[in-house]
């Protein structure tokens, strides 16, 4: 299998994730980056969207995963998003980075992020 990559960077949605009551109540922006290992040979050979991952639909699904039921940890959110991606048969593996740029940290910072990589079993 070829190891081609589909990358989506900077997907943004508001979620109510976190361990503090104000995070659950008020929500905040989460930003997600995806790097998906796949094989584009079939899609390129047929020029058929059915042979690849429809990144527009995937972006909507990831956004919905961020917006739905709250979790305490962004690690849990990253795992949820990886599951969404791996539901696509064309996705061999995915690296998910979840950014929480407005995390409740008491010192100046630019970003907090977790990154996981998951593969199809």
Decide if 30 contacts 77 (C-beta within 8 A).
Answer: yes
Q: Which two tokens stand for residue 44?
A: 């390129």
Strands (E), the chain: 4-15, 28-38, 93-99, 113-119
End-to-end CA distance of the chain: 16
Give the integer Cα–Cα distance in Å for 114 and 86: 18
Question: In the annotation, is 100 catalytic?
Answer: yes
Residue 50, by phi and psi: left (phi above 0), alpha (psi -120 to 50) or beta? alpha
Question: Residues 100, 113, 114, 116: which is the catalytic one?
Answer: 100
Residue numbers annotated as active site: 100
């Amino acid at each position: 299998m070829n190891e081609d990559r589909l990358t989506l960077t900077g997907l943004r949605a508001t979620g109510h994730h976190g361990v503090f009551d104000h995070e659950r109540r008020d929500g905040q922006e989460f930003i997600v980056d995806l790097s998906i290992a796949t094989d584009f040979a079939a899609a390129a050979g047929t020029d058929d969207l059915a042979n690849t991952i429809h990144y527009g639909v995937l972006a909507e699904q990831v956004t919905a995963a961020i917006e739905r039921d709250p979790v305490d940890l962004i690690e849990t959110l990253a795992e949820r998003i990886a599951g969404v991606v791996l539901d696509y048969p064309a996705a061999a593996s995915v690296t998910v980075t979840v950014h929480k740029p407005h995390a409740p940290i008491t010192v100046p910072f630019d970003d907090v992020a977790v990154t996981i990589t998951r593969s199809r079993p």
